[in-house]
């Protein structure tokens, strides 16, 4: 496993018909490459407002897109197809745990593809484990 500091996180809902993302205000964050089947774990400590936003997104366990910067703000962003696993309220702030895979496609292409897969009847877990994260 490899662990990196998560310095920027923007979430893109995939079920709202918009390419607008919401940048989260991180208190702390880390990202873990489990080095098996392109599986990644993202953990972010967020303020209350952003925590409430993520809680709303996570209620139906929909797949989301996450654009992140690792280690330094000037690094190139990486795009992940993720699913929120846990949202924990810690009074003034809270933490969010997400699992997913590194995406190899453009954000707009991913949003379109995920929408099509939903229309084709695939479940959220099937979408998450689909071709988006494969190391083809």
pLDDT 10s per residue in the chain (136 long)? 899 999 999 998 887 666 788 999 999 999 999 888 789 999 999 999 999 989 888 887 888 899 999 999 999 999 999 999 999 998 889 999 999 998 877 777 777 788 788 788 888 888 877 755 443 3
Give residue 109's pLDDT. Answer: 79
Quick one: which of 100, 76, 91, 102 has its CA closest to 46? Answer: 91
Pair of tokens at residue 115: 């929408």
71 contacts 57 by C-beta, under 8 angstroms: no
Give residue 63's pLDDT. Answer: 87
Give residue 18's pLDDT. Answer: 64
6 contacts 33 by C-beta, under 8 angstroms: no
Listed in order, strand segments (DSSP E) in the chain are: 2-13, 22-24, 26-33, 40-47, 64-70, 78-90, 93-102
Give residue 91's pLDDT. Answer: 85
Pair of tokens at residue 43: 């953990």
68 contacts 42 by C-beta, under 8 angstroms: yes
Give residue 132's pLDDT. Answer: 55
Q: Which residue has the tokens 């979408």?
A: 127
What are the backbone angles phi and psi of residue 55, rounded to the nearest 5°? -60, -45
């Amino acid at each position: 496993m490899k662990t990196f500091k998560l310095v920027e996180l923007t979430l893109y809902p995939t079920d709202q018909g918009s390419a607008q993302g919401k940048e989260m205000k991180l208190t702390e964050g880390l990202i873990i490459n489990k080095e098996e089947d392109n599986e990644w774990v993202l953990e972010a400590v967020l303020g209350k407002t952003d925590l409430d936003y993520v809680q709303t997104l996570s209620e139906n366990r929909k797949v989301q897109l996450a654009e992140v910067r690792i280690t330094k703000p000037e690094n190139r962003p990486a795009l992940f197809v993720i699913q929120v696993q846990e949202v924990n309220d810690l009074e003034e702030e809270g933490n969010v745990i997400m699992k997913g895979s590194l995406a190899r496609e453009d954000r707009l292409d991913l949003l379109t593809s995920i929408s099509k897969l939903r229309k084709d009847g695939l479940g959220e877990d099937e979408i998450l484990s689909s071709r988006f994260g494969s190391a083809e």
